[in-house]
């Protein structure tokens, strides 16, 4: 089987540095560029916060925005940016979709209320009360709807992407596999165009607690990775990143100019 070249024709990117690849390039290409930080909101842990954003340009219905968690809005927004840069709004019905995402966001208020209730009662009574709170306080969508499946569903609803859909759960490995498999399917002739990407938001107290308890988060004033010594630890941030991938022939047939060619995906 002759494998086809796969090219990138659209990039949707949002992080603490701004929106779009050009904004990121302008910051990262400056000598002595400084990271964007919020060292107060989650003190003593710093985070890389998102810029002020209006999601209306890519998610026009307020009802759609309200039913999404922050990372879902971010991913759906970045997906729209990629589609627009590729000039592929008219191709969404045939566009395959591959999405990677992390775990769902916890309801911190419910967590605190349940923990407070359990601490105030004898241990023998905790089990029945916990079961009752789980049945009444947790949203029905706490687990299933927070996964990458819901991000894919929101992208399909908001942007009309209705080709095949695949989703991956996890962080770094899931994102790499999403791009690898999307590119492989196109190279093998199983479609001409695909939208692939994901989103992650770590400005969340549940993640600060989770990673902080494990000593995985950098504590105190910001320091570059090279200066964090043996203690190490990461500084959390947020990122929405999507690519429009096409076979080279598909892009050429519609006059799209490739931004890059994918030679391979490796981790």
pLDDT at residue 1, as a whole number: 64
Whether residues 119 and 242 share a domain: the answer is no
Q: Is residue 83 part of a domain?
A: yes
- Looking at 87, 119, 141, the residue that finishes a domain is 141
**207 phi, psi to nearest 5 deg:** -75, -35
With H, G, I as helix, E, B as strand and everything else as coil, classify residue 124. Answer: helix
pLDDT band of residue 216 (cuts 50, 70, 90) is very high
Whether residues 112 and 191 share a domain: the answer is no
Whether residues 137 and 12 share a domain: the answer is no
Please count the structural domains in the chain.
2
- Closest by Cα among 239, 192, 245, 196 to 86: 245
pLDDT at residue 147, as a whole number: 65
Whether residues 132 and 149 share a domain: the answer is no
pLDDT band of residue 203 (cuts 50, 70, 90) is confident
Q: Is residue 263 part of a domain?
A: no
pLDDT at residue 103, as a whole number: 67
Cis link prior to 256 (omega < 30° from 0)? no
Q: Is residue 260 part of a domain?
A: no
pLDDT at residue 140, as a whole number: 52
Which two three-digit tokens encode residue 173? 């490995």
Q: Is residue 213 part of a domain?
A: yes
Whether residues 124 and 205 share a domain: the answer is no
Whether residues 100 and 228 share a domain: the answer is yes
pLDDT at residue 219, as a whole number: 92
Domain with residue 206: its CATH number is 3.40.47.10
Q: Which domain holds residue 37?
A: 6-106+144-252
Lowest mean pLDDT among 105-109, 192-196, 263-267: 105-109
pLDDT at residue 101, as a whole number: 85
Q: What would the pLDDT profile of 142-152 be if each residue is shown by its tens digit? A: 554 456 788 99
Whether residues 55 and 154 share a domain: the answer is yes
- Which string of DSSP letters, residue by residue, matches 53-106? --GGGT---HHHHHTS-HHHHHHHHHHHHHHHHHT-GGGGGG-EEEEEE-PPPP
Whether residues 39 and 56 share a domain: the answer is yes
**Separation of alpha carbons 14 and 104, rounded Å:** 20
Q: What is the pTM of this model?
A: 0.87
Whether residues 154 and 164 share a domain: the answer is yes
Whether residues 52 and 133 share a domain: the answer is no
**Separation of alpha carbons 186 and 217, rounded Å:** 38
């Amino acid at each position: 089987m002759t494998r086809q070249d796969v090219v990138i024709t659209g990039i949707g990117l949002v992080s603490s540095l701004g929106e779009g690849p050009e904004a990121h390039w302008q910051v990262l290409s400056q000598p002595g560029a400084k990271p964007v930080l919020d060292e107060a909101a989650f003190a003593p842990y710093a985070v890389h916060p998102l810029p002020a954003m209006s999601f209306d340009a890519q998610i026009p219905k307020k009802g759609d925005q309200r039913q999404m968690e922050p990372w879902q809005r971010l991913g759906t927004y970045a997906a729209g940016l990629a589609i627009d840069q590729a000039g592929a709004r008219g191709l969404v019905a045939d566009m395959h979709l591959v999405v990677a995402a992390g775990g769902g966001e916890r309801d911190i208020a419910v967590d605190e209320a349940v923990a407070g209730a359990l601490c105030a009662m004898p241990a023998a009574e905790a089990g029945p009360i916990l079961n009752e709170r789980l049945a009444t306080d947790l949203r029905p969508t706490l687990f299933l709807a927070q996964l990458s499946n819901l991000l894919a569903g929101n992208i399909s609803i908001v942007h009309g992407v209705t080709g095949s859909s695949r989703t991956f759960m996890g962080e770094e490995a899931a994102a790499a596999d999403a791009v690898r498999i999307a590119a492989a399917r196109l190279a093998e002739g199983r479609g001409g165009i695909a939208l692939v990407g994901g989103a992650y938001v770590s400005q969340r107290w549940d993640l600060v607690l989770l990673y902080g308890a494990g000593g995985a988060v950098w504590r105190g004033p910001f320091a570059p990775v090279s200066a964090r010594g043996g203690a190490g630890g990461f500084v959390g941030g947020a990122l929405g990143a999507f690519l429009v991938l096409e076979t080279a022939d598909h892009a050429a047939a519609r006059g799209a100019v490739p931004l890059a060619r994918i030679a391979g995906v490796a981790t």
